[in-house]
Amino acid sequence: MNMEENKIKVVVDDAIPFISGVLEPYAEVVYKGGRDICREDLLDASALVIRTRTKCDASLLDGTAVKFIATATIGTDHIDHEYCDKAGIVVRNAAGCNAGGVMNYVFSALYGVASRKAIRLDGSKLGIVGVGNVGKRVDMVAGYLGFKVLKNDPPRMAVEGPEGFCPLDYLLQNAQVVTMHVPLDKTTFRMCDDAFFDKMKPGTIFINASRGEVVDDAALKRAIPKLGPVIIDTWNNEPDIDRELLDMVDIATPHIAGYSYQGKQNGTAAAVRSLARFFGFSDLYEFFPKTELPSLEAVKLDLKGKRQGEITSALQYNYPIFTDDFMFRMDPGAFESLRSHYQYRREFYVY
């Protein structure tokens, strides 16, 4: 086989880390900004490796040579699955790749804002809406830290039975912290509406690190005077977010909750491996990016039995989340730049 003559063409989002040079021995690789990838780029391309910024639908893909799409993200709501199925285009995602990073974000934000607002977390009920890869990690750490955990996940409950889960209304009425970890689909679009927030107790802490579109911004703004601290990482209409809402929340970040070093390694590895298996690039079946510096290796934290202040200090040392908040508020218009040039943080784990 003449490798040069039989090389496929792959179009890759140039913001995907660790991928430069990996596919070149096997393919002609074209790197472009995710939002800038257009149909003309794909006319003779067999594969596409993307993030959430590339909307894959008929307008982008119709009449192209694309047979395979790998997204280095857990979410796939940027991909028209019905169209891809009909067109015979195989789609693969990186399920669970950023679960550790998002879990880190949730607890750094939660303990950080509780410290600033002098809120006691001991014995609090923490409600997790959506208990998939990320929600499971949040559940494990919440239990480790002594929270009473309430979980709502209708798809899992339908398969596994009701034990361990509770209705959404019960969760909202009883939790002191509500954190969103649902995928975006027709059942979750704008699920956080006026009725949703009306069921919450006054002072409830609300966290959204799932998808911006699960929240009705107008409803959230109406609810904020009643709620406790609000922490938002994912927004409607990114990057052109609601600036009024930005000014109203306690922690605001530009969709970087999952931007850990390990999460990005996992996402790129999943994308490369799935592409390699589809096209038969056997040397890349077990590809995983090397960790460049020992200081970026994940670290284990011993938080068992620690007081809230000690936990807060340890979490903020490992992920000083208010730096991300400050940088975003200084220039909200730099939403995409802050994401593209983000200095990936190492993950911590506690179990």
Cα(104)–Cα(98) distance, integer angstroms: 10
Q: What are the Cα distances from residue 315, in Å, to 100, 106, 232, 308, 318?
A: 14, 10, 18, 11, 5
Give the active site residue among 39, 78, 238, 336.
238
Please give the backbone phi and psi of residue 294, each rounded to the nearest 5 degrees, phi first. Answer: -55, -30
Please give the backbone phi and psi of residue 71, each rounded to the nearest 5 degrees, phi first. Answer: -110, 130
Q: HSE (CB half, 13 Å, CA atoms) of 240? A: 1
Cβ 168 vs Cβ 127: under 8 Å: no
Task: Name the amino acid, one letter, at 302.
Answer: D
Task: Name the amino acid, one letter, at 217.
Answer: D
Please indicate whether residue 163 is annotated as part of the active site. no
Cβ 347 vs Cβ 260: under 8 Å: yes
Give the active site residue among 51, 53, 211, 345.
211
Please indicate whether residue 307 is annotated as part of the active site. no
Give the active site residue among 255, 273, 345, 346.
255
Please indicate whether residue 211 is annotated as part of the active site. yes
Cα(218)–Cα(187) distance, integer angstroms: 19
SS3 30: strand
Quick one: DSSP state of residue 21? T
Quick one: DSSP state of residue 183? P
Cβ 170 vs Cβ 157: under 8 Å: no
Which residues are catalytic, by number?
A: 211, 238, 255
